[in-house]
Amino acid sequence: MKYLAILLLLLFATVAFAQDEQSGMIKTAKGVLVVWNEPGDYFTIEIKGNKITPGQQSMFFEVDGKIFQIQTAEKKLFLKNPADKALDNKAILAAHRDWEWDYLAGVLKRELKVESEWIDLAGGQQALAWSYDMPKVADTQTVKRQPYLTVVKRDHVLVLNRALTDLADERDAKLFMLETLLTLKPSDKPLSLQKASEQVKKDN
């Protein structure tokens, strides 16, 4: 367990940005706390699970044997019309979904039928859940469906994704992503990995 805690803490420790603070992961009583410090994109979010293993790519994880990914997309990547500045969060999330949808269809070279659902959060905020059946692109492919959960986070959209190899797991995947989303704590400035670690020790 000590080795795992050290591994998680060091996962992002080599990723240095312009600011002094770095990104990292801290073992918690229920899983791990991700502390993310990318220029202009600062937040913490807790991933809960019994066994959490970092993936080979940044922000990819295996949580109790299932793949989970956290992404962020800066608004300016998909909102390029000056009039888009007046869009509300619901319209921003819809625009992001369509942008991602178009990109994924191009990569997969398939038409994708996307299903969407709005989820009301505390404080009047809304999240957008959307998903599509994964087209067969390789004989070794095991993923059958791709569900996403997105929310506006200051100048970014936070994207959670849990690939499904068994369609019977879709409800659990949705609940897992929603539970993870509810731990999100955005910040307008870099976060201290050390202070976050000290706080986790107090909370545990």
- Determine the pLDDT at residue 16: 39
- Determine the pLDDT at residue 64: 95
- Determine the pLDDT at residue 20: 62
Q: Which CATH number fits domain 2-203: 2.120.10, 3.40.1620, 3.40.1000, 2.30.30?
A: 3.40.1000
Per-residue pLDDT tens digits for 38-84: 999 999 999 999 999 988 888 999 999 999 999 999 999 999 998 89
Every domain of the chain and the residues it spans:
2-203
Show the beta-strand stretches assigned E in the chain: 24-27, 31-38, 41-48, 52-54, 60-63, 66-74, 115-120, 126-133, 145-153, 156-161, 185-187
- Determine the pLDDT at residue 2: 38
Q: Which residue shows structure tokens 């087209």?
A: 135
- Determine the pLDDT at residue 55: 85
- Determine the pLDDT at residue 156: 97
Model confidence band, residue 203 (pLDDT cutoffs 50, 70, 90): confident
Using CB atoms within 10 A of its CB, is residue 158 exposed (0-12), middle (13-18) or buried (19+)? buried
Nearest to 73 by CA among 11, 15, 158: 158
CB 144, CB 133: distance < 8 Å: yes
Per-residue pLDDT tens digits for 2-36: 333 333 444 444 343 334 688 999 999 999 999 99
- Determine the pLDDT at residue 85: 86
Per-residue pLDDT tens digits for 101-141: 999 999 999 999 999 999 999 888 999 999 999 999 889 99
Which amino acid is located at 201 in the chain?
A: K
Q: How far apart are alpha carbons 41 and 25 in whole angstroms?
A: 16
Q: What value does the mean pLDDT take over residues 136-156? A: 95
Tell which wins on pLDDT, 157 or 203. Answer: 157
Residue 1 has pLDDT above 90, yes or no: no
CB 29, CB 144: distance < 8 Å: no
